[in-house]
Structure 1
Amino acid sequence: MASEVEEQIPVREEFFLCGGVETKIIKCGPWTNLFEKQDVSKPKQLIFIIPEESNAQKIEDVYGLNGQIEHKIAFLRAHVPKDVKLILIGHSVGTYMTLHVMKRVPELPVAHAFLLFPTIERMSESPNGKFATPFLCQFRYLLYATSYLLFKPCPEVIKSFIIQKLMGQMNIKLELPLTDILQPFCLANAAYLGSQEMVQIVKRDDDI
């Protein structure tokens, strides 16, 4: 009976300066530099995932909605050769960013684009949007202060425990530590981006 052999795909974290901010990238695969022509492990297609965030110039308001779209464009221009075909995957508001990346840079060699649970219109009118909009827009600074008071003095072990419990309830298996998302700076940026999403993602762009 033939034994089943599982291929181990290397996963690693790298940091780049992109759009004026340090950007963490999670790479899956044996390749190291897409611009290295002699690299036999260089892929012909690259899967680029935009979740619910160099040589690039500094981007104004990089943590806002428009800044996040420009940030993705800056990364692709600086770190992905033009001859590598792209498979774009967007999740939640990442689908909105994916569509606008393709609209703003139509010359990108996009082979496929997959939009998972797309949120591309009337976000503030959804059930979750109606609940979140007042907190993200009217009471955003109260959220900043609360997150700072709660999580700034919080030990890493407690943050890790909170994340594991939350992810466990959603049946999500953690492969990498996510305690950074409970840093007040990260929470403030997430709330700021969320407030812009509720205000700006209103009417569907039928020109895309």
Structure 2
Amino acid sequence: MRSASKEPVPLHEEFIYCCGAATHVLKCGPWKDLSKDESKNLPRLLFMIIPGNPGLAGYYRTFIQALYCGLNQQYPVWVVSHAGHCKPPSGMEMIEDTDIKELEDVFGLNGQVEHKLNFLKKNVSKDIKLVLIAHSIGCYITLEMMKRASELQVLRSVLLFPTIERMAQSPQGKLMTPLLCKLRYVLYMPVYLLSFLPEGVKASLVRFALRGMKTCDESSITTSVNLFSVDCI
């Protein structure tokens, strides 16, 4: 097995629009484009991470690097953020997706499922096999993906801490879901005001909030700072 300490782990970062929503993609490995069917140099297997909630790709940066090294750096490992769960770079231009159907609510649960399917359709060749690794609500999204697109060549699906029950249809869910959906608008103003704080102050607030954790990866702190952006809520 190759040692991660001896060789830098290749990590490519992209911000794209998928289904009209800003999307953050982290790609571990030298392969940046897996959509070219005619390429003989493409790997035949992709490990793809479907995040939990919040679905910021940066939370999985260390995980995909460790997984890539654990696979002897033989296969690409990607993580795709949820639609809109990222802070786009300043100056990023909106690009219309003319070749996919328009979604009524790409930010809802159904929209997030279609968002991942459309990402695969546009960015991964059909003959590439998949190992889907999902976390929390990402497990529900993964199961729905396999139901709706049986043509996907999924070799394995790994569900980590799955959230797959119909929570919104439970008695408690029927009460809390509308309440939480409305309360999110209350957060916009304080988050907007906090977004003007210096980055160092934001990072200090995150470290204070996570002080109870025994170990805290630095990439998690950097990613959590993005939660001070209205774009991410």
TM-score (norm 1): 0.73
1:158 alignment partner in structure 2:
201
Structure 1 gaps, min length 5 = 188-208
Question: Does residue 70 of structure 1 match 2:118?
Answer: no
* Cα deviation, residue 12, structure 1: 2.0
User: Superposed, which structure 2 residues align to 1:1-208 within 5 Å?
Assistant: 6-36=6-36, 37-38=38-39, 40=41, 42-52=42-52, 53=82, 55-123=99-167, 136-149=180-193, 151-167=194-210, 169-170=212-213, 171-175=215-219, 177-178=222-223, 179-187=225-233
Offset of residue 97 of structure 1: 0.4
Equivalents in 1 of 2:19, 2:153: separation in Å?
A: 21
**Does structure 1 conserve the Cα–Cα contact (< 8 Å) formed by 2:100 and 2:118?**
yes
Of stretches 68-77 and 128-137 in structure 1, the one that deviates more from structure 2 is 128-137
How far is the alpha carbon of 1:105 from its aligned partner? 0.5
The Cα of 1:144 is off from its aligned counterpart by: 2.7
Q: Give structure 2 stretches of 5+ with no counterpart.
A: 53-81, 83-96
Secondary structure at the aligned position of 1:162 is classed as: helix
Normalization by structure 2: what TM-score? 0.66
Question: What is the aligned length?
Answer: 181
* Partner secondary structure for residue 120 of structure 2: helix
The amino acid that maps onto 2:227 is: I
**Percent identity (aligned):** 43
d(CA) in 2 for partners of 1:173, 1:82 = 35
How big is the shift at 1:147?
Answer: 2.6
Cα distance, 1:24 vs. partner? 1.2
Q: Is the 8 A contact 1:20 1:57 kept in 2?
A: no
Tell me how far apart the structure 1 counterparts of residues 12 and 211 of structure 2 sit (CA, whole Å): 23
Query: Aligned pair in 2 of structure 1 residues 154, 62: CA closer, same or farther (>3 Å)?
Result: same
How far, CA to CA, are the matches of 1:157 and 1:58 in structure 2? 39
Q: Which one-letter code corresponds to 2:144 in the other structure?
A: H
- Distance in 1, Cα, partners of 2:207 & 2:175: 25
Q: Cα RMSD (Å) of the superposition? A: 3.0
Structure 1 residue 34: Cα displacement: 1.2
Moved more, 14-23 or 89-98: 14-23
